[in-house]
Amino acid sequence: MDNKMQLAKDKLIVALDVDTIERAEALVKQLNGTVGMFKVGMQLFYSAGPDIVRRLKEQGVKVFLDLKLHDIPNTVGQAAKALAGLGADIINVHASGGSAMMRAAAEALQEGAGVLNIPAPKLISVTILTSIDQNTFSGEIGLPGDIKDKVRDWALLTKGAGLQGVVCSPREIEIIREACGQEFEIITPGIRPSWSVTGDQKRIMTPAEAIGLGASYLVVGRPITGAADPFDAAGRVLVEMTEGI
């Protein structure tokens, strides 16, 4: 594996948006060694339970636990403390919960991991979901201004609260890089390879485009997990990613 392909592999997160442990583990078996990390979201976590994270970690893979915690600071802090022991590599909260909530989560993760004497997961925030376009943002949610400006503001709030990065659409990569620096993690869903369908994502970009703009990680789900041959689909995504490196 050449350097560009290895770098692409390390940056690719496959979303295990399935509802059974068996399906998730089958995908991990197919793709382990080809991708850098697997995302466990609400669908899988709520159907399979917390043990799914432990089982995946036992297979030696990295896990992004995508539960988007969002509640009052104490509740989110206690939830983060409970999740710290699962062994996930990344956990997230919603930036719209505010800085006090994000700080509570960060402190609780450190406390929970410290009690167990294990490394604390990275903590990142979710800004604006990639399924939301400007019309929804302004007309339905009722927030003023441009989506990009709000994403930048929440990224700065996230950094100020001591978190390591954000989830955002690839269209906000440049503005966040400029505002938050090169060390800030930017995880981008809304990635659609040139050969795949858009689905319900709206603020999207190809793998090569997102990598070229400076994304830290790309999250790809259905174009890989819904393919007849997920291993082949992952390989095709990696090839596109190398074009942006």
Q: What is the pLDDT of residues 195-239, one digit of tens each?
A: 875 655 555 799 999 999 999 999 999 999 999 999 999 999 999
Type of residue at 26: A
* pLDDT digits (tens), the chain, 245 positions: 689 999 999 999 999 999 999 999 999 999 999 999 999 999 999 999 999 999 999 999 999 999 999 999 999 999 999 999 999 999 999 999 999 999 999 999 999 999 999 999 999 999 999 889 999 999 999 999 999 999 999 999 999 999 999 999 999 999 999 999 999 999 999 898 988 756 555 557 999 999 999 999 999 999 999 999 999 999 999 999 999 99
Q: Which residue has tokens 């989110």?
A: 76
Q: How many CA atoms lie within 13 A of 3 on its CB side?
A: 1
DSSP strand E in the chain: where? 12-15, 37-41, 63-69, 90-94, 122-126, 165-167, 185-188, 217-220
| Cβ(177)–Cβ(208) below 8 Å | no
Q: What pTM was computed for the model?
A: 0.95
pLDDT at 203: 59
pLDDT at 195: 82
Domain residue ranges of the chain, discontinuous segments joined by +: 3-242
What's the mean per-residue pLDDT of the chain? 95
- The annotation places the binding site for substrate at 17, 39, 66-75, 130, 192, 201, 221-222
CA distance 211 to 167: 14
- The annotation places the binding site at 17, 39, 66-75, 130, 192, 201, 221-222
pLDDT at 96: 97
Query: Which class is domain 3-242?
Result: alpha beta
Q: Would you please indicate which residues are annotated as catalytic (active-site) residues?
A: 66, 68, 71
Residues whose CB falls within 8 Å of the CB of residue 229, separated by 6 or more in sequence, listed in order: none
